[in-house]
Structure 1
Amino acid sequence: MSADDGRAEACVERRSEALRRAADRLVRRRLPPAAPDGSTPLWSASFFGLDRVPRFCAADESTRAAVLDDCATALLAEAWRIEHCGIDYCGRMTRVGESDDERRLFALIGADEALHASLLARWIASRAPQPDPFSRFIAGLAEAGAPQPLAFLLQVVLEGFGIVHFGSLATSCRDAGLAATFRRIARDEALHHAGGLATFSPDRLNEADRRFLEDAAYSFLQMIRCGPQGVIAALDRHIGLGDGNDSANVFAALDAEAASADKLARLRRLMAQPGMAWLLDRLDASGAFTACPAGDCAQVYADTR
């Protein structure tokens, strides 16, 4: 590296650090800082259904702790990256907003998303999680979609789903500071969902928007149908899984089909907005709201292993 390159890199690092400190000061002004506890797993084995998996229960304490840490890291990383997607989405919607009210709404929602990401980063620490398939999918939607279908998918559906999802994470979380953070996010998700309902108008969807919505909603639901793939991956990394039958037995022990069916039903209710019966009809016809049985979930895991 030349001297000029070294100076340029140092300049970039100084600027990044200054930006980070400025953002951190704004975060502290909005909510008192909460330090991670770190003394116990963030969520119990029963939260993930692992207490019903014999090979997990038979593992030694350090192995069980490693599996729980991986499961918690995956949850945190997913939430953190989704909030970052929200920042990008709101920045775009602020730019293309058709009125002062619309631009103001998305600027305010974007500020919430930035705060959420900053708060969650305290528990992610230096682990720098790699983007998971769901986060990559949402990021791709936010980049490629038009405003109206995105308002439906990301705000009406995803943020509506987040109200219950983040509330559940808060209720079961063993870290008081993180639980408070998730409660804050769940409250904000309700307001963002309401903003999506105000923004979205089915009459403004053109044929390209409708095709985009159908394809994106189907792909999204496919990820839910195939059960807790991340939990299975954590078990596989630290304990190991045998053949497809073993994986299917673990999915069955986790009661994956029933858990997915509950989530799919909740998503269907969120999608059942006035003027959107056409989308539900097409998704119903393709079986998108039907949870996969344990054997099919295991096959999906084997195909991506």
Structure 2
Amino acid sequence: MNKQNTVARLDLPHIDREDKLNRILSAALDNQGDILSEKNAKNETPLNYWNQEYFNLHKVNIFQESTATEKRLILQLCNLEILKEAYFIEKAGVGYMAKMILLAETTEERMLYGLFAADEVNHFSKISGFLPVPKINNSPFLNLLEEVVESNDKKVLLFVLQVVLEGWGLTHYRSIAKHCQNIQLRSTLNSFLQDESRHHATGVTLFEKISLTKLSRETITEILAVFLQMVQVGPQSVVKAIEQVKGSLSREEKINIFEQLDTQNHSGIRLKKLHSLMHLPNATSVINSLENKGYFQPLKASLCVL
């Protein structure tokens, strides 16, 4: 795939801060994040927005037995993972909304997606102020997101991205905002909620008006099966952060960490929420197929070691 022709463009570069175009953009956004962004770019601001309790690390023996420096590094990696995901989701959202402007079937729908594109630009600009410009890595979720937004099937786009993922994102933003220790970032995240709710509601409204074709239903089921499997295997990024700081972990050590993180309960809550988001009348066959294959069932810790 030629990424220059893709919608998400997660690898799209930034221009120099002093570029005239950047100054025009900042003026248009009335951007308040420039000073903070510059500090973070120089790594002068530690990433300590969420504490160990948010990640359940206070229950993990190997973390509690670590040195103060190791704990700080693990927490920074966990914090960075949350911010990077938000950064790339909002970046992809700009391209997605632009695509939906072109796929709009009424004037009002096109107007709505034009407004939504501006929301995504605003969110992306704001979240960018809280972390250094991240490099795109091999994230299974972001890889899936990039693939989905390339679909030309509007039914797939509406259900997967706006009904399910925007609804999921709304719950996620509420959670990270509630537990964020930084007043400015908490306020920023809370400011996203009304927009995300509107994006989700629009997806539900438009999707409820259509009937799924056999191909659309199969495509949606296949995509959501992959996504649900990611949720089933629990907080992989937390275990990865521990291993990155502590060194290679044995399978038994990883199982112990997943057990101490209460992975099965952690995943079960999220899978239950995703099930409720999908519960629309014209998506019953999708839910039934996913249920029959066990994708809404959380996995025990031993099955989360990849």
Report the TM-score range of the alignment, normalised by the length of the smaller protein: 0.7 to 0.9
Shift of the 235–121 alpha-carbon distance from structure 1 to 2, 3 Å rule, reads same
Match of 1:80 among 66, 79, 87: 87
8 Å CA contact retained: 1:145, 1:212: no
Taking only aligned residues, the RMSD between alpha carbons, in angstroms, comes to 2.2
More helix per residue: 1 or 2? 1
Return 5+ residue gaps in structure 2 as ranges: 1-13
Q: Give the corresponding residue for 2:184.
A: 177
Q: Give the corresponding residue for 1:24.
A: 26
8 Å CA contact retained: 1:35, 1:177: no
Q: Give the corresponding residue for 2:57.
A: 50
* Aligned pairs for 1:63-74 within 5 A: 63-74=70-81
Return 5+ residue gaps in structure 1 as ranges: 1-11, 301-305
Counterpart CA distance in 1 for 2:18 and 2:215 is 39
Q: Give the corresponding residue for 1:261.
A: 268
- Number of matched pairs: 287
Shift of the 256–13 alpha-carbon distance from structure 1 to 2, 3 Å rule, reads closer
8 Å CA contact retained: 1:66, 1:238: yes
SS of equivalent residue, structure 1 residue 47: coil
Name the stretch that deviates more: 82-91 or 261-270: 82-91
SS of equivalent residue, structure 2 residue 73: helix
Shift of the 212–200 alpha-carbon distance from structure 1 to 2, 3 Å rule, reads same
After TM superposition, give the deviation of residue 223 of structure 1 in Å. 0.6
Match of 2:300 among 280, 293, 296: 293
After TM superposition, give the deviation of residue 27 of structure 1 in Å. 2.2
After TM superposition, give the deviation of residue 220 of structure 1 in Å. 0.8
Q: Give the corresponding residue for 1:228.
A: 235
Match of 1:277 among 249, 274, 284: 284
* Aligned pairs for 1:82-101 within 5 A: 82-101=89-108
Counterpart CA distance in 1 for 2:136 and 2:26 is 20
After TM superposition, give the deviation of residue 188 of structure 1 in Å. 1.5
Counterpart CA distance in 1 for 2:259 and 2:33 is 42
Instruction: Describe the superposition over 1:178-198 as per-residue Cα deviations: whole angstroms up to 9, x where unpaired.
Output: 111111122221111111112
Instruction: Describe the superposition over 1:141-169 as per-residue Cα deviations: whole angstroms up to 9, x where unpaired.
Output: 00125111211111111111122210110
What's the TM-score, normalizing by structure 2?
0.88
Q: Give the corresponding residue for 2:195.
A: 188
Counterpart CA distance in 2 for 1:203 and 1:188 is 24
After TM superposition, give the deviation of residue 33 of structure 1 in Å. 6.9
Runs of 4+ in 1 over 4 A off after TM superposition: 12-16, 31-34
Q: Give the corresponding residue for 1:9.
A: none
Q: Which amino acid aligns with 1:230?
A: S
Quick check: 1:208 aligned with 2:215? yes
SS of equivalent residue, structure 1 residue 222: helix
Identity of aligned residues (%): 28
Q: Give the corresponding residue for 1:163.
A: 170
Counterpart CA distance in 2 for 1:77 and 1:254 is 22
Shift of the 241–49 alpha-carbon distance from structure 1 to 2, 3 Å rule, reads farther
Instruction: Describe the superposition over 1:111-150 as per-residue Cα deviations: whole angstroms up to 9, x where unpaired.
Output: 1111111111111224435352211211110012511121
Q: Give the corresponding residue for 1:6.
A: none
After TM superposition, give the deviation of residue 39 of structure 1 in Å. 5.8
Shift of the 162–34 alpha-carbon distance from structure 1 to 2, 3 Å rule, reads farther
SS of equivalent residue, structure 1 residue 204: coil
8 Å CA contact retained: 1:235, 1:241: no
After TM superposition, give the deviation of residue 60 of structure 1 in Å. 1.0
Name the stretch that deviates more: 236-245 or 258-267: 236-245
